[in-house]
Structure 1
């Protein structure tokens, strides 16, 4: 593969790497997209469900966004002073997001989540960040994971992890770090709904302890509701971070929150500045995208189509007697299909075979389902028909005990180095 010679991992995004797919079956590069469909460099067409990992919420090459960007391109993309679109998009977010009183822009989710932690520390004059979920690659977040090589130990001592839907694990962090926790940073929704008023209790606990509550809405923002998961659950954080879903694939992010916290960015000693944060094409895309979501039934469509996929998949699994081996979990706007072995452990071979059968029938399947506004009824019906055929193959392979021998390439999870005998 040419990319391996010049690009570490052959990708700019870990979840798009060749090892995430059944190699020699899946395409390595996608060249074009329209609506809910994409084409690889060989011209093969697929129905897209990862949708670029979530940013393409309306559909590839969506007319309203494309036309807004084309108009802006004629006038220019970068300027020596702020473009008016900065104000217009900020006003849209303030009008749409419950916690938003002021807004600053970045280019990706990392910018927003890391700035949120910095603002919380500046506001509270504390250092410890309590974190749950994935918030990007910067040291402050990876210090709390197994991906911490290259991160100073001192950074790790300022990041403490807690479990979603486990208020006791968060209470322990406050008990172990009295008066030192600056912020609680959490993804407000995962694949399961919170129970026992978890988010409300997190909100209350953070307030009692003098810490800021930060919702990472990079994925949930504009997808679960116009105002994000905070609107859906009616729990308002102090700060929220957005990126995927706000510009239909154009690179932009936003941090929005309380005015008293956001105005810290006007101080000379609280610094955040990016040359490209005010780039006008992405702002034009964001304005067109958010206006479309606000004016049309985009969110309802995502819920409706996604729930049809979830229910349909689980019905098919039951039909073939595989409910103990595979299940679709989550909610309409975002769901994930899991595969298990007889011990209840994740089964990558079963996932790989199902993935292969979907790919060979024109469905770009990676496990995640992130429907867009362009996934119409006919497409969803076709997808479920393909799932039924793939499930039949998987059921037969489980019964015969020969899943791996049916794969036409290395299973998902096999790295390029492992394939060539090198150490990963």
Structure 2
């Protein structure tokens, strides 16, 4: 019998997952299309590898095992799996067609809606993926400013201009790598000192898990404006979650450009770039950024339906309230169980992360142990609480009961000094290492 949402006696049977994985290894390199969904992020030997169904906040793997899902498809599921209002909008559009040889009216309708919701949306560009709009924002910023250098903080996709600052930079010319520099979040003094006349754009996630210091984002906007550098907010995670208008609304600050994707269409592939009209005007003549599947109508319909639901149902407020129950509940349990020196849950309530201190030992080992025990009990867990509108009080109460059951086991393993002996599967893999050469002053141009 497949495992259910219960304190199951055995780890889930993943026979069919493993069969598919073995087939994939023969024909796919890599076997996953999204790194965070791949087998390296879930302990091999215990965790499922393939999901086939989702409903609300629950998912089912290919072997029939059921789980509460706190990954939310790595962010895009903001309302819930198979959410009726969105699925019905997709079905209605499907009857008329998916993609066409000319533009579709829904493009105009969506852009008008975005302009009402996003504070800096003097103009709107619609694309398909987060990496696309991040790179489009960088390209148009370089064109507008006539500069080349970029400062970044956070994760901004797979394209050359960004991934060159990570350890997975093979295939990227050194000249491209030398145009991008990283900076430390919340350090306005060093950022201001490093900005100069060569910096076209500064791009950051308004927050990841650490909160901005009071005034940091506003001061950053001023520093960029005074330097002639365009400020870009990467709102893939913050957009439509922290507030309907994203971090710009929540923190009352405007960026020159902003990019969105994950939460705005409840799983359908679409991305948005918003910004100043004078900057965005360059897409009409000087800057090229187009895609074959731009204007694909199912995603447009889903995006409009999702945003309307997010606003009408006050979903950001719901995510905040329910996410607080999980975060605060976890931290209360940690204190009660005497584990404060080992672990804590951090972040804004809509998206929180369970962290482990150096005192806990090897972070990937302890995370793998926590993961295998959560999965055994019917919670698909990767260290995050990516909240969606379908997460219920029942889900949250059950998850906290699981944490109460699992945390003492984790504590015992940590204090034994041999966490690996408690693992039934393999240790998790690191995604990639970011190179933290913060606040590198752009290299001075020398002349002979």
Coarse TM-score class (shorter-chain normalised): over 0.9
1:50-129 mapped onto 2 (5 Å cutoff): 50-129=71-150
Q: Give the 3-state SS of the residue equivalent to 2:308 in structure 1.
A: helix
Q: 1:261 aligns with which of 279, 303, 308?
A: 279
Give the equivalent residue in structure 2 for 1:421. none
Instruction: Please tell me whether the aligned partners of residues 342 and 357 of structure 2 are also in contact (alpha carbons under 8 angstroms).
Output: yes
CA positional deviation for 1:340: 2.6
With normalisation by structure 2, the TM-score equals 0.89
What is the CA-CA distance between 1:253 and the residue it aligns to? 0.1
Shift of 1:346: 5.3
Question: In the alignment, is the contact (CA less than 8 A) between 2:361 and 2:414 conserved in 1?
Answer: no
Change (3 A) 1:3 1:373: same
Written as runs of structure 1 = structure 2, the 5 A alignment for 1:403-422 is 403-413=419-429
Q: Unaligned 5+ residue runs, structure 1? A: 416-424
Q: How far off is 1:107 after superposition?
A: 0.7
1:236, 1:244 → 2: CA distance?
20
Question: What is the distance in 2 between the residues matched to 1:190 and 1:92?
Answer: 26
User: How many correspondences in the alignment?
Assistant: 410
Deviations 1:295-347 (A, max 9, x none): 112111100111111001111111111111111010111111012342x7652
Equivalent residue in structure 2 for 1:289, among 306, 318, 324: 306
Match of 1:280 in 2: 297
Report the Cα distance in structure 1 between the residues aligned to 2:412 and 2:151, rounded to whole angstroms: 46
Is the 8 Å Cα contact of residues 9 and 17 (structure 1) preserved in structure 2?
A: no
Change (3 A) 1:148 1:7: same
1:179 lines up with 2:197 in the alignment: yes
Alpha-carbon distance between aligned partners in 1 of 2:25 and 2:391, rounded to the nearest angstrom? 33
Given the alignment, which residue of 198, 214, 222 partners 1:204? 222
**Aligned-residue offset at 1:351:** 1.2
Distance change in 2, residues 1:414/1:208 (3 Å): closer
Q: Which residue of 1 aligns with 2:387?
A: 371
Contact 1:326 1:338 in 2 (8 A): yes
Structure 1 residues 182 and 399: CA distance shift in structure 2, 3 A: closer
Pairing partner for 2:366 from 339, 346, 350: 350
283-292 vs 345-354, greater mean Cα deviation: 345-354
1:414 Cα deviation (Å)? Answer: 8.2
Distance in 2, Cα, partners of 1:164 & 1:283: 34
**Corresponding position of 1:314:** 331
- Supply the distance in 2 between the matched residues of 1:370 and 1:244 (Cα, whole angstroms): 11
Shift of 1:196: 4.2
| Counterpart position of 1:236 | 254
> Would you say the 8 A contact 2:364–2:429 is kept in 1?
yes
Looking at structure 1, the residues matched to 180 and 334 of structure 2 have their Cα atoms a distance apart, in angstroms, of 41
Whether 1:330 and 2:347 are equivalent positions in the alignment is yes
What does the per-residue CA deviation read over 1:19-45, in whole Å, with 9 as the maximum and x for residues that have no partner?
Answer: 111111000101110000000000000
Q: Does 1:2 align with 2:18?
A: no
Partner in structure 1 of residue 60 of structure 2: 39
SS at 1:185 equivalent: strand
In structure 2, what is the equivalent of residue 393 of structure 1?
409
* 8 Å contact kept, 1:223–1:302: yes
Contact 2:235–2:260 (CA under 8 A) maintained in structure 1: yes
Partner SS state of residue 294, structure 2: helix
Q: Does 1:146 align with 2:167?
A: yes
Q: Following TM superposition, by how much is the alpha carbon of 1:172 offset from its aligned partner in structure 2, in angstroms?
A: 3.5
